[in-house]
Amino acid sequence: MSLSNQQTAVVTGASSGIGAATARALSKRGLTVHVLARRSGRLAEQTGCIPHVLDVRDTETLKSLLNSLNVDILINNAGVGRGYKSLAEAHSSDIDCTIETNVQAAVHAVHAVLPSMLKKGSGHIVNIGSMAGLYSLPSALYGASKAAIHLMSQDLRLELEGTGIRVTEICPGRVRTEFYDAAVDEPEEREKMKDSGIDELTGDDIAESIIYALDAPWRVNVNRIELQPTEQIYGGSQFTPRERP
């Protein structure tokens, strides 16, 4: 079912970056867009959207809100990268924050919207994954959280066979967002990680890929979109010799 047949969308993590760009794009298409984020000031900038200030880790508040809405489209975008640099150096609070935001909240959001979608026999769930969930990178915690989103998306497609509900996973590479500002505390390390030296994707680039998947004819389910900067590639092998005992 294309966008012309949908009325209500929910975008989590919508105060900036991919979420904000997606909310703007959906609003321009005439949908009623509910945007969820922790920062109220940024939400107010999303013209035409209905803001809800909440932390997606607050499960009861999140599910209460979603249960009150007749959601046609869920954009599971909220995510963090605490403990991104190294699992060995991550604090326990970083681990909890990343798993609770990237995995637990996403699962609860899907759980909350599915009953109404199943009743209608239509709906579209878009999970924002990452290339880090598909390819090996030196970021075990973040990669594990996004790999969970990848497999959830795959398995949902099987669970929802014959229901009319579509599921799409969007897997970006480097995107010009505030990701590293929130992920890395040390200023020097943060600036080093932010400066990739390449022309990175933008939130609008990702939003356009989401609109493409949402606007496909009903008979088409766009299972997964991988997109990355032209100057970035994943895969290959690496060898690091060391002195043997």
Is 241 part of a structural domain of the chain? no
Which pLDDT score is estimated for 239?
79
Q: From edge to edge, which strands make up the β-sheet containing 224-227?
A: 49-53, 32-37, 8-12, 73-76, 123-128, 165-172, 224-227
Which pLDDT score is estimated for 176?
78
Is 142 in the active site?
yes
Render each residue's pLDDT in the chain as its tens digit; 245 residues: 668 778 999 999 998 889 999 999 999 999 999 999 987 776 656 667 999 999 999 999 999 999 999 999 999 999 887 876 788 888 999 999 999 999 999 999 999 999 999 999 999 999 999 999 999 888 899 999 999 999 999 999 999 999 999 999 999 998 877 665 655 656 666 566 666 788 899 999 999 999 999 999 999 999 999 999 999 888 877 777 888 77
Is 136 part of a structural domain of the chain? yes
Going by C-alpha positions, the residue among 54, 101, 49, 44 that lies closest to residue 76 is 101
Is 235 part of a structural domain of the chain? no
* CATH label of the domain that carries residue 189: 3.40.50.720
Which pLDDT score is estimated for 178?
65
Going by C-alpha positions, the residue among 201, 213, 208, 211 that lies closest to residue 172 is 201
Using CA atoms, how far apart are residues 176 and 180, in angstroms rounded to an integer?
10
Which pLDDT score is estimated for 54?
94
Count of domains forming the chain = 1
Is 245 part of a structural domain of the chain? no
Is 244 part of a structural domain of the chain? no
DSSP letters, 103-120, are IIHHHHHHHHHHHHHHHH
Is 29 part of a structural domain of the chain? yes
Is 62 part of a structural domain of the chain? yes
Is 72 part of a structural domain of the chain? yes
Which pLDDT score is estimated for 236?
78
Which pLDDT score is estimated for 172?
95
Which pLDDT score is estimated for 3?
80
Selected catalytic residue, list 84, 135, 142, 234 = 142
- Give the residue numbers spanning the domain of 70: 3-227
